[in-house]
């Protein structure tokens, strides 16, 4: 009897709590075709007036990610950050059937210190680790933007291409 009451209580609660999947795909600047290097821990920020959620999740080898939203509004802004990329945002994301499908976003790399800007501070970090490979004491994975295990001219070119850029964001809660 108690169990039956609990079950109907859960059913009632479930009616009031709408859970919607959100899915999307990113591509990583400088990493070539989809593959193992496209798996990365990313931060997914979702916001709208009066709504703010943030998740950490992992992309798959095609850069796809999924999160679940609790009682989301009809329209969302979604921002994605990789480990050393600028935040990439898109607004006006709406539910299609039950799922929010985020258009593909390109993650621009070069933010070695994670402040959502690419500037001289990132260049200084890269310079300190320049011309090293993984295992070298000076090697710094935060400026190995293309994840090839080396900090070299390729990473420098990626950083230079984004010098002065600032990433998008959902802001703080």
- Interface residues with Ca ion (CB under 5 A) are 111, 113, 115, 117, 122, 144, 146, 148, 150, 155
Min dist. Cβ of residue 119 to Ca ion (A): 6
Residue among 53 and 155 whose Cβ is closer to Ca ion: 155
Six-digit token string for 153? 């001219």
Min dist. Cβ of residue 83 to Ca ion (A): 12
Residue among 25 and 150 whose Cβ is closer to Ca ion: 150
CA distance 141 to 83: 10
Min dist. Cβ of residue 105 to Ca ion (A): 19
* Residue 95 backbone phi and psi in degrees, to 5: -75, 130
CA distances from 59 to 6, 64, 100, 122, 138 (A): 37, 5, 17, 25, 28
């Amino acid at each position: 009897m108690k169990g039956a009451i609990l079950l109907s209580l859960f059913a009632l609660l479930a009616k009031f709590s709408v859970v919607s999947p959100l899915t999307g795909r990113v591509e990583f600047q400088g990493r070539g075709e989809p593959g193992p290097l496209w798996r990365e821990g990313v931060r997914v920020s979702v916001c709208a007036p009066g709504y703010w959620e943030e998740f950490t999740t992992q992309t798959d080898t095609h850069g796809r990610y999924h999160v679940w939203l609790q009682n989301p509004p009809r329209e969302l802004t979604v921002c994605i950050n990789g480990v050393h990329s600028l935040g990439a945002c898109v607004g006006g994301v709406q539910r299609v059937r039950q799922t929010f499908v985020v258009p593909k976003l390109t993650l621009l790399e070069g933010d070695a210190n994670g402040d959502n800007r690419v500037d001289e501070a990132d260049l200084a970090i890269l310079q300190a680790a320049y011309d090293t490979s993984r295992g070298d004491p000076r090697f710094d994975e935060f400026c190995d933007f293309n994840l090839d295990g080396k900090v070299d001219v390729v990473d420098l070119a990626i950083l230079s291409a984004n010098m002065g850029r600032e990433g998008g964001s959902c802001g703080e809660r």
